[in-house]
Amino acid sequence: MKTLLPKEFKPGSRDLKTAPTRAKKIFSTLLKTHPDARIALNFNSPLELFVATVLSAQCTDVRVNIVTKDLFRKYRKAADYAKVQQEELEQDIRSTGFFRNKAKNIKAACADIIEKFDGDVPDNLDDLTSLAGVGRKTANVILGNAYGVPGIACDTHVIRLSRLMGLSENTDPVKLEFALMELIPKKNWVMFSHLLIFHGRQVCVARRPNCDNCSVRSHCCYGKLTK
């Protein structure tokens, strides 16, 4: 019998003690469940991934991919974004929402990429997070998917599933990132993010997780409560 809604569930101390063992089982099981898990944003360069990730805030990846299909033909280099008029870029990305702030950040970041990094998107966390609009999550997305540098991108799915699965009680993305780094081998950090995002979109959906058809239910603290 279901006793708790997903938003009401909090892992207990007993759940957290078993987290290291369960995390390994969850990873291996999800890897079999979602063998094609990967980033959903389309890109062909670190710059394109940077722009797409900025646009993805409060917007679906499907919509972003529609917008960037034409955007990436128009803007090839960081200089193209830096020199375009703010209003023109706003119109080009308008349908992604929050377009004024996104355009402002993209232009400012690309100006810094030109001035400080010779036109190349940085390949390390400190330099990336110095750019406008880039926090740790965005930086980890770029590092992991464009440069192959291990990192855990804590988006809303990763935060929500980590709590439901009893891997961490942290809802702060930075604290959660460091907590998960202790549970998952470094070589698996990027894929672990992909797996949780895939699972969160397809099975463990926000309003009503499909626990009856969840491959990791036996390792999930919330899933066990719903039996």
Contact call for residues 153 and 141 (beta carbons, < 8 A)? yes
* Angle CA 109–115–120, to nearest 5: 70
Catalytic residues: 137, 155
Could you give the CA distance from residue 36 to residue 38 in angstroms, rounded to a whole number? 6
DSSP-derived 3-state class of residue 44: coil
Question: How many Cβ atoms from other residues are within 10 Å of residue 210's Cβ?
Answer: 12
58 — alpha (psi -120 to 50), left (phi > 0) or beta?
left
Contact call for residues 164 and 125 (beta carbons, < 8 A)? no
220 — alpha (psi -120 to 50), left (phi > 0) or beta?
beta
